[in-house]
Amino acid sequence: MGGFRYPVEYFSCKDFDKKPEDIQQMLMCMADWGRKLSGPVRGETGIDGVRLDFNNGVRVEVTEGPWHVTIGDYDSGMVFYDADVSEKLIVSMEKYYIHWHIRISYEGNLVFEHVFDMRDQKVRLIFQSWLLGDMQSFLSYVPYVRDYYGADVYYWIPDSMKEAAQHILKDVPLREDFDEDTYATFYFNAGLDIPCLMPIDGRQVPMTQTGQIIMNLPSEAPKLPWPKGERKIKEPYVCIGVQASSVGKGWLYPHGWDEVTEYLKSLGYRVLCIDKEKVMDDRGYRLEMPEGAEDYTGDLPLIERLDMLTYADFFIGLASGLSWLAYTADCPVVMIGGFSAYWTEFPNPYRVYNRLVCNACYNDVRVNWQGNMCPKQQAGTDKIFECSKKISPRMVLDAIERLRRDKGLV
């Protein structure tokens, strides 16, 4: 593997139910991360020719000689790697938190032993997903990791979320570059069908718990408050978002958004559409701003969107990034959608879905959801996207009225 001094040997803590070509693809991906994101192993052990760090899983580098390396889990006593090595870089495939225990012998004598401990160590957290919802689901884990493990944490996040993240995480540094004295690096990722990123498939747990599982934390991270800006719209208003990253997340009931918009206006609300675009065409479906809504679409800074959502009576949207923005801004959400299970995103008593039709394909690990927006139903039939088409306006209006009663808006 180019970029390292010695040949790389990967080991795994668990058996992967994967085809050999899929495992090879994962190995290539891991090697690329190691070169681009972490570089060479720099952690000194006090022993000439032996280096150790945890910046792409556990990484142990030994020079030429009669070395023997044992790597395991300190808590359970399980051993995952136990071999004689020379001029080699040993790297774990697993990149999530494991309480590593490393023992190194020379000519049969134990010369080095280390138990993974982040206390007072520099730790980097990388937001790997570019999806708006994924990034927000991990934000609260940055200070939680710092406080629980006593680590000196810094983080990196994609450009689209940087300003908003810094507004929320004011006391945690965001850094573009890798500090060379970094002890450990972890990747915040949805972990879909990539077993080296999470001990379970990310589709099997709520998104708000993914960071808990990656970082081996005892509980879900507490939600962080959004620092409110200035209210700019005086009248009562509701924000809506009718688009998502794909049509599979949309609400496809004919004229459903128009009915909801007119109902909201009859209650005296201004209805503001805050999608990035006015129209989205995908796979023969057209998702566009309802005719009766006010046009607040556009590629605006997320801080502006968050401040607008802060003062909205509520938000109506899909299982998408805008619903997560509303959640981040403490704005009540009516979420419409059946492609994911009702528990997938953040806790929400106003999730609207039809449990009497095919639904939640996203959470079914038996199907290939990625790249196939309706993996269980055949294209051209009446059942395609029925999880969305069979959500009626009546169901949405019922959720709106429950929310208004609960929040004292009636």
Catalytic residues: 134
CB 65 within 8 A of CB 96: no
Mark 25-35 as b/e (b = at least 16 C-beta within 10 Å): ebbeebbebbe
Kindly tell me the burial class for residue 392, based on how many C-beta atoms sit within 10 Å of its own C-beta (0-12, 13-18, 19 or more).
Answer: middle
Note every long-range contact of 158-167, with CB atoms under 8 Å and residues 24 or more positions apart, other chains counting.
Answer: 158/127, 158/130, 160/130, 160/132, 160/135, 160/302, 161/127, 161/132, 161/135, 161/136, 161/302, 163/301, 163/302, 163/303, 164/302, 164/303, 164/306, 164/328, 165/135, 165/139, 167/226, 167/227, 167/303
Question: Considering only CA atoms, which of 79, 67, 52, 71 is closest in space to residue 108?
Answer: 67
Between CA 347 and CA 227 the distance in angstroms is: 21
Q: Which two tokens mark 229?
A: 């800006």
Between CA 246 and CA 321 the distance in angstroms is: 12
User: Can you list the positions of beta strands (E) in 269-386?
Assistant: 270-273, 279-282, 285-288, 294-295, 315-318, 333-336, 351-352
- Please compute Rg for the chain using Cα positions: 24
Q: Which two tokens mark 86?
A: 């020379």
Between CA 291 and CA 374 the distance in angstroms is: 28
User: Can you list the positions of beta strands (E) in 304-367?
Assistant: 315-318, 333-336, 351-352
CB 248 within 8 A of CB 319: no
